[in-house]
């Protein structure tokens, strides 16, 4: 598929069939996710792959799946064959930027212009989502409503932040997000200056 067609085909899908997803496809998708750029090549992102039904139900609960189903969505988190939880580690960036090649003249860590640990998580997640489309699969995203519970259930170290859940599977007809009514912006380009 043409690269721009692949980008246009990507959308957040909120319903999946029962058809399993191959381990090989998940491996390729995860390999794509680690090829993104990262500040200082810190690579401070980790991914937890969940296929256990009980853990999927728990994570769905921590994302408030019942609120989705009460408003007409399918149980797209608990029902997805595979969940991937992308995580980012702010402290890994601080440690990297305290290394000799990254400190300023006084040996101090830089003033961070923006939180690059979240920017790099976005890079990784975007590559992952595009790889999902390339595999003829579909993915969604759900943020945690109870992040401490998710962290505890998955045994995530205190310095690592799970940014949400990416359900992956074969797409089934789904209810579209009401947010899409906003339409896609076309006034976002500022040439030469804002
Ligand atoms: C940071 C972020 C958080 C999101 N959180 C949720 C969420 O909690 N639940 C959900 O159903 N969709 C969530 N989405 C999906 C957006 O609603 C979706 O990307 C947007 O409506 C545009 O639709 P599209 O991705 O299908 O083009 C999130 C997307 C991003 C990038």
Tell me the CATH number at 81.
3.40.109.10
Cβ proximity of 139 and 12 under 8 Å: yes
The residue written with tokens 């409503």 in the block is: 145
Domain assignment of residue 177, yes or no: no
The span from the CA of 32 to the CA of 72, in Å, is 33
Question: Is residue 141 lining ligand 1, measured as CB closer than 6 Å?
Answer: yes
31 CA distance to ligand 1 middle (Å): 23
Domain assignment of residue 174, yes or no: no
Q: What global pTM score does this model have? A: 0.97
Mutation to probe ligand 1, out of 125, 141, 165 (largest number of atoms < 8 A from CB)? 141
**Domain count for the chain:** 1
Domain assignment of residue 7, yes or no: yes
pLDDT of residue 104: 85
Domain assignment of residue 182, yes or no: no
Q: Where is 160: in which H helix or E strand?
A: strand 160-162
Domain assignment of residue 193, yes or no: no
Confidence of residue 105 (pLDDT cuts 50, 70, 90): confident
> Which tens digit of pLDDT belongs to each residue from 144-154?
999 999 999 99
Question: Is residue 186 lining ligand 1, measured as CB closer than 6 Å?
Answer: no
35 CA distance to ligand 1 middle (Å): 23
> Which tens digit of pLDDT belongs to each residue from 182-192?
999 999 999 99
Domain assignment of residue 114, yes or no: yes
Cβ proximity of 139 and 61 under 8 Å: no
Domain assignment of residue 194, yes or no: no
Of 96, 92, 19, 65, residue with least CA distance to 164: 65
Question: Is residue 145 lining ligand 1, measured as CB closer than 6 Å?
Answer: no
Give me the mean pLDDT over the 92-102 stretch: 97
Domain assignment of residue 187, yes or no: no
Buried b (16+ CB within 10 A) or exposed e, 102-135: eeeeeeeeeeeeeebbeebbebbbebbbbbbbbb
SS (H, E, C) 17-59: CCCCCCHHHHHHHHHHHCCCCCHHHCCCEEEEEECCHHHHHHH
User: How many degrees, rounded to 5, is the angle at CA 35 between CA 33 and CA 36?
Assistant: 85
Domain of residue 83: give its range.
3-136+143-166
């Amino acid at each position: 598929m043409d690269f721009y067609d692949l980008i246009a085909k990507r959308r957040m899908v909120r319903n999946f069939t029962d058809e399993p997803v191959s381990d090989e496809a998940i491996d390729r998708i995860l390999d794509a996710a680690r090829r993104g750029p990262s500040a200082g090549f810190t690579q401070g992102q980790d991914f937890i792959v969940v296929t256990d039904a009980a853990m999927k139900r728990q994570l769905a609960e921590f994302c408030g799946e019942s609120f989705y189903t009460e408003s007409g969505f399918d149980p797209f988190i608990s029902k997805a064959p595979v969940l991937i939880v992308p995580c980012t580690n702010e402290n890994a960036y601080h440690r990297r930027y305290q290394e000799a090649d990254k400190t300023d003249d006084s040996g101090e860590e830089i003033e961070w212009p923006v939180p690059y640990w979240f920017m790099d998580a976005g890079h990784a997640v975007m590559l992952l989502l595009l790889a999902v489309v390339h595999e003829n699969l579909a993915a969604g995203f759900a943020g945690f409503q109870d992040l401490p519970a998710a962290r505890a259930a998955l045994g995530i170290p205190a310095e690592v932040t799970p940014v949400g859940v990416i359900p992956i599977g074969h797409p089934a007809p789904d209810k579209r997000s009401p947010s899409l009514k906003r339409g896609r912006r076309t006034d976002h380009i500022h040439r030469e200056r804002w």
